[in-house]
Amino acid sequence: QRRGQGLASCLMEELEKTARSWEAPAWILEVRESNAAALALYRKFGLEITGRRPGYYADQGEDALLMTGVLPGSRLND
């Protein structure tokens, strides 16, 4: 386990840089509702819960949360 070492934040920063270089205005993702660590990370990067997919994960019938966020520097910020 590498939790707490900032690896996920580094990956998110690189993803953000790449998305901005492609002039992507926003990012959208799905995350398991029980994944508190991922939810906290995504919120740290400005994503917000914008929807729910009930029973998305068939193994336990758990919901997926849809998260979206406007990328820094995007025209959507204007």
Q: Give the bridge partners for 29, in sequence order.
A: 67
Average pLDDT over residues 43-56: 96
- Greatest mean pLDDT among 5-9, 17-21, 41-45: 41-45
Percent of the chain with pLDDT over 90: 62
Residue 44 has a pLDDT of 95
The rounded distance, in Å, linking the Cα atoms of 78 and 64 is 30
* pLDDT tens-digit map of 24-35: 889 999 999 999
pLDDT of residue 76: 66
All domains in the chain, ordered by first residue: 7-77 (3.40.630.30)
How far apart are alpha carbons 6 and 59 in whole angstroms? 29
